[in-house]
């Protein structure tokens, strides 16, 4: 990180890759530089395939002021060289952020809200009731009150820890009774996003349609907003239009609470029942066998449950397991309930690394070091993990992960430096 | 000089991949007498489309930049 690679180091690296002697590599690099700068000196643009283009740009004469004396002076026109990296190279360097997309922001957000959003993630909005609900909805891509509705439901009846919403995945595959079956082929992240919105819609139907409050689930990761189909945004618009009066909002909101609680209770009951039917096999064991038999295609997807999409997440992971059913021996429907909400798995892929996982599970990419620590024996170099590697996501409590705690973040950062240093 | 084209290609690829990996780690690669390649992190920002007035949240990005050395600058003058 932020290290300067000197010329001898570069020579060494090139020699190591090609297997030629350092002398050859040195002369080659010198020739290369000489050729490029000579061509530039002759007024030619130089383009190196897969690398980029060195372009000459004319800079006209301009006036300036000497900052020491204040005297005006003339800067003569000259040519400068501009380097534009090739698409291939630019993309390769940008891979850590490649999965982000530009997102349109709703007009109703003010500057302050934006600043708040960027500095801290929205936390708990239960207490603020209906007033909060409106602003939250406007934000669209942050927590919605559906979140808090389900949250309260969860607090009401189970042993889930209230702060880590995403830690609980109520998974049950006998969901047919509930009408929330969702069997989507989920291969890529885009699909995932679509599945989220679909799941949200399905949920919409199960709860009555007039209080969308509890159903307006969108992922916090704003990229997904693009991918979600028109349904959900339509929903959101609807809400905005007829949810303007505060009183109306309030009743809708508490109705949302109520229905959310009821649904959660129902799901929990069925899940517990099913869980006892199936025996005490822990969820992750089933999960891991599933992954071994399935060709790793659908593994990374359903497990990714963000802060704000818990209901959708439930349906999703449940869908995931539904798929998994086909791989279990006996062919009997697999009925599970997550007893251990803290142990999760994920799969490394071209667009999903430790950092993205860390962001998804802990809210900050810097905590990737703990995922690495947890999977040390599987991972050699954290910068070069073969796609398809299944990693364990440790519970946030195990390493004291807290994205709002400066010290925790700082500790992770130091650890990251250490790890990266040992893999130089 | 006097090198086979395939050798040149191999060496050039090695050079490119070195720059790629090093700059991918946010390091900078300096070549004396020519310039420095360095990766720069651009933070996320909000931009406004002047035509439609729509506000877009542009995600963070790492870009490769090249800083020509004084020697190269003088040569071009």
> Which chain B residues are Cβ-neighbours of A17 within 8 angstroms?
14, 17-18
Q: Which of B3, B29, B33 sits opposite A5 (nearest CB)?
A: B29
> Residue B75's closest chain A neighbor by CA?
A41
Complex ipTM: 0.84
Q: Assess if residue A285 is contained within a domain.
A: yes
Residue A74 pLDDT: 84
Alpha-carbon gap, residue A106 to A113, rounded angstroms: 12
Name the residue range of residue A243's domain: 122-291+308-316
Helix H or strand E segment including B54: none
- Tokens 């250490």 found at: A418
Distances (CA, A) of A396 to A9, A86, A146, A156, A166: 39, 40, 24, 23, 11
Tokens of B36: 């420095």
Alpha-carbon gap, residue A144 to A319, rounded angstroms: 23
Rg of chain A in Å (alpha carbons):
27
Per-residue tens of pLDDT for chain A, all 424 residues: 667 888 888 888 888 888 888 888 888 888 888 888 888 888 888 888 888 888 888 888 888 888 888 888 888 888 888 898 888 888 888 877 777 777 777 766 666 666 665 544 433 333 333 333 333 334 433 333 334 333 333 344 333 333 333 333 333 333 333 333 333 333 444 444 444 444 444 444 444 344 444 344 433 443 344 434 444 444 444 444 444 445 566 677 777 888 888 888 888 888 888 888 776 544 444 444 444 444 444 434 444 434 434 444 444 444 444 444 444 444 444 444 444 456 778 888 777 778 888 877 887 788 888 888 888 887 877 877 888 888 888 887 778 787 777 788 888 888 888 888 787 6
Separation in Å, CA of B44 to nearest CA in chain A: 9
CATH code assigned at B45: 4.10.520.10
Number of domains forming the structure of chain B: 1
Number of domains forming the structure of chain A: 1
Answer whether A10 sits within 8 Å of B62, measured CB to CB: no
Using CA atoms of B16, B18, B23, B25 in order, give the dihedral in degrees to the nearest 10.
150
Got the DSSP string for A323-338?
HHHTTSTT-PPP----
- Indicate if the alpha-carbon torsion angle B38, B41, B45, B51 is positive or negative: positive
> Residue B19's closest chain A neighbor by CA?
A10
Q: What does the DSSP 8-state code read for residue B31? A: E
A75 φ, ψ to 5°? -95, 120
Cβ(A98)–Cβ(A351) under 8 Å? yes
Answer whether B3 sits within 8 Å of A40, measured CB to CB: no
Residues 6 or more apart whose Cβ sits within 8 Å of residue B16? A48, A50, A51, A89
Got the DSSP string for A149-171?
HHHHHHHHHS---SS-GGG----
Q: Assess if residue A252 is contained within a domain.
A: yes
- Tokens 């007009």 found at: A107
Residues 6 or more apart whose Cβ sits within 8 Å of residue A27? none
Name the residue range of residue B53's domain: 5-76
Distances (CA, A) of A405 to A150, A367, A409, A413, B3: 26, 12, 6, 13, 57
- Within 13 Å, how many C-alpha atoms sit on residue A299's CB side? 26
Residues 6 or more apart whose Cβ sits within 8 Å of residue A110? none
Cβ(A206)–Cβ(A129) under 8 Å? no
Q: Assess if residue A108 is contained within a domain.
A: no
> Which chain A residues are Cβ-neighbours of B52 within 8 angstroms?
none
Q: Assess if residue A329 is contained within a domain.
A: no
Q: Assess if residue A278 is contained within a domain.
A: yes
Q: Which of A14, A95, A118 sits opposite B18 (nearest CB)?
A: A14
Tens-place pLDDT, residues A203-258: 444 443 444 443 444 334 433 444 344 444 444 444 444 444 455 666 777 778 88
Q: Which of A18, A29, A96 sits opposite B10 (nearest CB)?
A: A18
**Cα A347 to the center of its chain, rounded Å:** 13
Q: Which has the closest alpha carbon to A236: A134, A165, A150?
A: A134
Q: Which of A18, A54, A92 sits opposite B14 (nearest CB)?
A: A18
> Which chain A residues are Cβ-neighbours of B15 within 8 angstroms?
10, 14, 28-29, 32
Alpha-carbon gap, residue A189 to A300, rounded angstroms: 9
CA angle, residues A170, A171, A173, in degrees to nearest 5: 145
Answer whether A3 sits within 8 Å of B11, measured CB to CB: no
Separation in Å, CA of B4 to nearest CA in chain A: 12
């Amino acid at each position: 990180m932020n290290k300067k690679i000197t010329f001898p180091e570069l020579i060494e690296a090139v020699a190591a890759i090609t297997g030629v002697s350092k002398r050859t590599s040195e002369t080659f690099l010198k020739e290369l530089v000489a050729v490029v700068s000579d061509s530039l000196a002759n007024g030619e643009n130089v383009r190196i395939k897969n690398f980029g283009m060195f372009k000459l740009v004319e800079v006209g004469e301009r006036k300036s002021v000497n900052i020491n004396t204040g005297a005006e002076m003339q800067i003569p026109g000259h040519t400068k060289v501009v380097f534009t990296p090739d698409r291939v190279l630019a993309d390769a360097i940008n891979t850590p952020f490649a999965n982000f997309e530009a997102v349109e922001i709703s007009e109703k957000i003010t500057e302050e809200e934006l600043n708040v959003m960027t500095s801290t993630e929205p936390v708990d909005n239960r207490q603020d009731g209906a007033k909060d609900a409106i602003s939250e909805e406007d934000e669209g891509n942050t927590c919605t009150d559906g979140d808090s509705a389900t949250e309260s439901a969860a607090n009401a009846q189970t042993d889930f820890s209230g702060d880590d919403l995403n830690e609980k995945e109520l998974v049950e595959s006998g969901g047919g009774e509930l009408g929330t079956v969702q069997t989507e082929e989920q291969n890529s992240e885009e699909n995932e996003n679509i599945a989220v919105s679909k799941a949200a819609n399905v949920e919409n139907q199960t709860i009555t349609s007039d209080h969308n409050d509890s159903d307006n689930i969108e992922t916090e990761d704003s990229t997904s907003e693009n991918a979600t189909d028109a349904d959900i945004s339509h929903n959101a618009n609807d809400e905005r239009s007829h949810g303007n009066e505060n009183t109306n909002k309030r009743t809708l909101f508490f109705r949302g609470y109520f229905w959310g609680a009821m649904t959660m209770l129902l799901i929990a009951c069925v899940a517990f029942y099913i869980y006892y039917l199936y025996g005490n096999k822990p969820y992750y064991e089933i999960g891991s066998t599933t992954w071994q038999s399935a060709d790793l295609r659908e593994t990374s997807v359903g497990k990714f449950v963000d802060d704000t999409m818990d209901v959708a997440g439930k349906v999703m992971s449940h869908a995931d397991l539904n798929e998994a059913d086909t791989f279990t021996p006996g062919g009997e429907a697999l009925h599970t309930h997550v007893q251990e909400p803290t142990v999760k798995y994920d799969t490394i892929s071209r667009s999903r690394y430790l950092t993205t996982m860390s962001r998804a599970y802990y809210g900050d990419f810097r905590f990737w070091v703990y995922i690495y620590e947890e999977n040390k024996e599987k991972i050699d170099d954290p910068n070069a993990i073969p796609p398809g590697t299944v990693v364990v996501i440790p519970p946030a409590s195990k390493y004291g992960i807290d994205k709002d705690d400066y010290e925790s973040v700082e500790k992770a950062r130091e650890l990251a430096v250490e790890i990266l240093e040992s893999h130089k | 000089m006097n090198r086979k084209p395939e050798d040149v290609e191999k060496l050039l690829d090695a050079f490119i991949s070195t720059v790629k990996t090093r700059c991918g780690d946010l390091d900078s690669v300096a070549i004396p007498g020519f310039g420095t390649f360095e990766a720069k992190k651009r933070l996320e920002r909000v931009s406004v489309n002047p035509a439609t007035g729509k506000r877009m949240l542009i995600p963070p990005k790492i870009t490769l930049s090249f800083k020509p050395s004084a020697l190269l600058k003088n040569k071009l003058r």
